[in-house]
């Protein structure tokens, strides 16, 4: 058996992006510990599960023993939830990040990799956007003052297996399978560059290279698609006649239309996969996964 590489702590490693990144790290030979409040549903046999709360100092201290690299995916990431619960969004996304930085500043951790969002470029995204932008500034300050090397990972529109119910594509698929139609708050003219979560995970591991330290990277796809065209593809894959109701309301007012970018001083380099999962194949996998879940819930 080959010798394991460095020990990596994946905070929030039981979630969507975190679990896929943890798997990609394990496949590369890293010694992976997943730190989360609940046991991961996707824990591999070669991964360690550490139960804890990243807002608790003692939990972090115990989890960081022997760790060389830290990924931080823990956050309130649903924009709608951030609007309903600004206090906890700001507490966990900002102060929680500060507590992690405090815990690692006097350790031998070589790099802190932070899961951020393309919404840092925007004045949309409600308290979620504010929390990610603020956390980024704090990370940069800790890097400057305490010599903590960091990498900011600004994810674009993610989709794929293990996604949360509020993930856009999963929501679209579930609506169609359950009701044979889709209700959407918007015009359908919105543009997205979807990236499959597995491709994003591979890029997240690639960023461990020293040349990516102390910088921000936009992690997004190479396949631009109009939301209305996405709906047509989904109905075709599922084998149903297209039926979409567009609602003229403001429930998606915190989501961007054609681009998340607004005039804000947030520089970053873009990193995309050289080989990536085809959107159609990725959508088919989501349809199959959601169908299995619905079948189980009805049985």
Give the lowest-confidence range in 134-143, 174-183, 290-299: 290-299
- Residue range 136-178, pLDDT digits in tens: 999 999 999 999 999 999 999 999 999 999 999 999 999 999 9
pLDDT at 299 over 60: yes
Q: What is the pLDDT of residue 254?
A: 47
pLDDT at 283 over 70: yes
Task: Read off the pLDDT band of 267 (50, 70, 90).
Answer: low
Q: What is the pLDDT of residue 256?
A: 46
More confident residue, 97 or 257: 97
Q: What is the pLDDT of residue 248?
A: 76
Q: Which domains does the chain have, with CATH numbers?
A: 7-298 (3.40.50.720)
Q: What percent of the chain has pLDDT over 70?
A: 93
- Mean pLDDT computed over every residue of the chain: 92
Q: What is the pLDDT of residue 1?
A: 46
Give the lowest-confidence range in 52-61, 208-217, 220-229: 220-229
Q: What is the pLDDT of residue 3?
A: 63
Q: Rounded to an integer, what distance in angstroms lies between the CA atom of residue 251 and that of residue 186?
A: 9
- Residue range 77-132, pLDDT digits in tens: 999 999 999 999 999 999 999 999 999 999 999 999 999 999 998 888 899 999 99
Q: Rounded to an integer, what distance in angstroms lies between the CA atom of residue 213 and that of residue 152?
A: 9
Give the lowest-confidence range in 23-27, 44-48, 188-192, 284-288: 188-192
Q: What is the pLDDT of residue 276?
A: 84
pLDDT average, residue stretch 217-230? 92
Q: What is the pLDDT of residue 297?
A: 86
Tell me the whole-structure pTM to 2 decimals. Answer: 0.91
pLDDT average, residue stretch 217-228? 91
């Amino acid at each position: 058996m080959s010798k394991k590489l460095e020990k990596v702590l994946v905070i929030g490693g039981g979630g969507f992006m975190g679990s896929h990144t943890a798997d990609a790290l394990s496949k590369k030979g890293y010694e992976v510990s997943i730190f989360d409040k609940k046991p991961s549903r996707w824990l591999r046999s070669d991964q360690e599960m550490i139960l804890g709360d990243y807002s608790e100092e003692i939990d972090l201290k115990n989890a960081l023993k022997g760790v060389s690299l830290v990924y931080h995916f823990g956050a309130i990431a649903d924009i709608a939830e951030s609007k309903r619960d600004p206090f906890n969004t700001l507490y966990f996304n900002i102060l929680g990040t500060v507590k992690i930085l405090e815990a690692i500043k006097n350790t031998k951790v070589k790099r802190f990799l932070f899961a951020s969002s393309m919404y840092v470029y925007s004045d949309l995204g409600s308290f979620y956007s504010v929390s990610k932008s603020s956390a980024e500034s704090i990370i940069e300050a800790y890097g400057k003052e305490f010599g903590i090397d960091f990498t900011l990972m600004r994810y674009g529109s993610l989709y794929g297996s293990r996604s949360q119910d509020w993930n856009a594509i999963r929501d679209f698929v579930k609506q169609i399978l359950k009701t044979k139609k889709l209700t959407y708050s918007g015009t359908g003219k919105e543009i997205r560059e979807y990236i499959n979560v597995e491709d994003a995970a591979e890029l997240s591991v690639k960023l461990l290279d020293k040349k990516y330290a102390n910088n921000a990277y936009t992690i997004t796809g190479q396949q631009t698609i109009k939301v209305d065209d996405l709906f047509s593809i989904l109905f075709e894959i599922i084998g149903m006649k297209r039926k979409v109701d567009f609602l003229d309301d403001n429930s998606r007012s915190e989501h961007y239309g054609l681009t998340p970018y607004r005039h804000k001083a947030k520089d970053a380099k873009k990193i995309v996969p050289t080989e990536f999962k085809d959107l159609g194949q990725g959508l088919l996998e989501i349809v199959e996964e959601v169908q299995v879940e619905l079948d189980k819930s009805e049985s």
